[in-house]
Chains A and B, each alone.
Chain A
Amino acid sequence: MSIQPATLQRQPFAPVAGEVPVLECRDVSRNFLVGKGLFSEKKTLRAVQNVSLTVRRGEVLAVVGESGCGKTTLAKMLLGLLQPSSGEIFIEGTPINDVDIRAVARRVQPVFQDPYSSLNPRKTIAQIVGLPLAVHKIGDKEWRQKRVEEVLQMCEMPKRLVNQYPSQLSGGQRQRVAIARALVMKPEILICDEPTSALDVSVQAHILNLLQDLRDELNLTYVFISHNLAVVEHLADTVAVMYLGRLIEYGPKDDIFNNPKHPYTQALLDSFLTPDPTKDIPEIALGRGFPNPLEPPTGCAFHPRCAKVMAQCSQTRPGQTSVQGIKVECHLYPPVGAGQKAAE
């Protein structure tokens, strides 16, 4: 492949009529076949089920939920690293399957949780940040070097560190390098999978401030995966709550934090410990543990732990309804009119 001219201008996707969201999931599901032994029958793990989301440009979407709820699988699909089993993902109105993975990578970039394992220990900072440019064959050596310095400066990394190795950096500095690497290609969307959970509070504050500044400066869109509700509250515009692979509540952050609809979201927000010494440890109305995702409960997957469980909850799965601008899947909010999805 020939070396592209030194520019980060992308090949535009085929134009789509009207205003399109930067990122859209339509009814996306992903199954995995899991087998315990060589001869045992494989079981289907439904990691993500019928998730539909739209993210507008400049928006911060936070995906929250307990471990094993499918957050990371969703993130991998958004990055084009995993194919959905069914449903489609659109980037700027173009189906992700129709375009080359490189074209996707130019637009969507990840920032991972652990900056200790996500950076190659044998490469210098400049090499790590410059690698995407080299892979995509953009610009010549000199130009790349300039771009790397520029983007490291944007991430508030001192210039003297460019020739150091990750082991010589602190956790916060490493995460800045990871962010710089994600930004070097001028992507539209960053998928951040728990980007601050491995960091100390004071460092976390630095990184959150940086992410906000970068968003304002570059008009970035974030999909922010986290189980730290304090961070979500601080950063997000929209919140998507997942439980056992399903999107059970989805809406504007303020509405969800002030008035959560789904009993699970309510329990999740109750268990969120705000730094308020006048309050006690909350009593959580959540029975039993997280169910085995290989054998999800019948009906509404949340019903065995739900405080407001009703007879129908174990029978039929609730369809999605819209309550005061929030999309929710729960029998407490019966759908208006007909059109309820048939239970499986």
Chain B
Amino acid sequence: MTNKVLDVKNLTVDIDVPAGTLHAVSGIDFYVNEGETLCIVGESGCGKSITALAIMDILPRKAKLKADRMQLQHRDLLTLPKDEFARLRGDRMAMIFQDPMTSLNPVYRVGDQLEEVYIQHGKGGRKEASERAEFLLDKVGITAAKSRLIQYPHQLSGGLRQRIMIAMALMCDPELIIADEPTTALDVTIQAQILNTLHGLQREFNTAMILITHDLGVVARVADRVAVMYAGKIVEQGTAMEIFTQPNHPYTQGLMACIPQPGKTGHGRLGSIPGIVPSLVGDIDGCLFRNRCASIRPQCEKGEIPIQYLNEGHGYRCVLSVEESAKRAQVDTLSEAS
């Protein structure tokens, strides 16, 4: 049986804003197994980045976190004292941010920044740290690692900086890596190379990874499992194959129809999701996708929408039955083709 590295139940993040309470994340369940990649997809404002910050316990001060369970391996993250949490961060779990331009300190050499992680967490002295840094730079595909260590961030290209960030995340051999849009700021050619590196290293070290992205091309290639988020909730969760070939939630179906697919959509019309994301401030109730959904039912208006499971791993939060949603998907593809 595979080992759950991270297990989260009913995670809720509320943020105080002048107009009231913003329900950034409302009651999401997910887990990541060892050596597995979970992709969290969704559009801006759906709560995917806040989820990452919540796991790392680096939420903004105005945010309040609630959860039934949040475990990293067998540690309970909810009751962990601040100082112990700080020791986990960077050691047992590490984060790679979107923008490699701003996540490195411009006034320190990259070598020092890499070594600091290692020394801070008491893994060894400066010598071991620098050996480890050199080893990892080599692993992430940077040639002449030794000479790179004494350079400053501004001397490196965006792709190189992102590789450094990956190396930094791996310094202490963490159990979990959270990558928040790690390739969005990069060119396509570099993106493929970085994803390759990340994937290869993850295999090698058997690390669990949460990859946050809005690029469905990346998701299709990298993910083992996918969680689709909309307005603070996970609306569908399953293996990448299930999500791409048999999406059940109307939002997932809409998202799939929106992406230009080579050889299929050329010069035709793309599917689109009408309307905009509802405000998450104040009381929210019922299915939050209902104002944009073509298959709305009376049950959508009120109460918690139950999750329907197709199998143990593949579930979607919608009142439509599996047959109804399959029919819906067919109508979508038909209207796309015409």
Contact = CB atoms under 8 A, between A and B. Distances in A.
A2 interface: no
Interface centre among B43, B196, B255, B262, by most chain A C-beta atoms within 10 angstroms, is B262
A208 B266 CA distance: 12
B221 A280 contact: yes
A227 B186 CA distance: 10
Interface in B250-268: 254-262, 265-267
Tell me which of A67, A201, A203, A257 has the highest count of chain B C-beta atoms within 10 A of its own C-beta.
A201
Contacts of B159: 289
A273 B241 contact: no
Interface stretch (B101-109, B115-123, B187-195, B301-309): B187-195
B199 interface: yes
Contacts of B261: 230, 274-275
A154 B218 CA distance: 34
A22 B154 CA distance: 43
Interface in B23-77: 43-44
A235 B196 CA distance: 28
B15 interface: no
Interface stretch (B88-96, B269-277, B325-333): B269-277
A284 B255 contact: no
Contact of A234 (B244, B255, B256, B265): B265
Contacts of B240: 277
A202 interface: yes
A200 B244 CA distance: 18
A230 B216 CA distance: 11
B192 A281 contact: yes
Contacts of B223: 277
B222 interface: yes
Contacts of A278: 241
A200 B219 contact: no
B220 A289 contact: no
Interface residues of B, number: 48
A267 B262 contact: no
Given A200-B43, A275-B220, A283-B196, A205 B272 contact: yes
Contacts of A206: 272
A275 B259 contact: yes
B160 interface: yes
Contact of B245 (A66, A277, A279): A277
B258 A274 contact: no
B189 A212 contact: no
B43 A202 contact: yes
Nearest to B292: A202
Contacts, number: 130
Interface size class of A (residues with CB under 8 A): 35 or more
A272 interface: yes
A280 B218 CA distance: 10
Given A230-B217, A273-B220, A281-B196, A267 B189 contact: yes
A284 B189 contact: yes
Nearest to B215: A273
Contacts of A274: 217, 220, 261-262
B214 interface: yes
B157 interface: yes
A209 B272 contact: yes
A201 B43 contact: yes
Given A271-B189, A283-B196, A289-B160, A208 B260 contact: yes
A267 B222 CA distance: 19
A131 interface: no
Interface in A258-275: 267-268, 270-275
Given A202-B255, A275-B261, A233 B187 contact: no
Contacts of B188: 66, 227-229, 268, 271-273
A227 B187 contact: yes
Contacts of A281: 192, 195-196, 199, 221-222
A177 B123 CA distance: 55
The winner among B44, B243, B257, B260 for most chain A CB atoms within 10 A is: B260
B192 A275 contact: no
A282 interface: yes
A278 B271 CA distance: 23
Contact of B218 (A172, A229, A273): A273
Contacts of B190: 66, 289
A228 B184 CA distance: 11
B192 A230 contact: no
19 contacts: A171-B44, A200-B214, A201-B255, A205-B257, A205-B258, A205-B271, A206-B272, A209-B269, A212-B267, A212-B269, A230-B261, A234-B267, A267-B189, A268-B189, A274-B261, A275-B217, A277-B241, A278-B241, A289-B159
- CB-CB nearest 10 A-B residue pairs: A273-B217, A234-B260, A271-B192, A205-B258, A200-B43, A205-B270, A277-B240, A66-B187, A275-B220, A202-B273
Interface of A: 66-67, 170-172, 200-206, 208-209, 212, 227-231, 233-235, 257, 267-268, 270-284, 286, 289-290
Given A203-B43, A272-B217, A284-B193, 8 more contacts: A66-B188, A66-B189, A201-B216, A202-B255, A230-B259, A233-B260, A267-B189, A277-B243
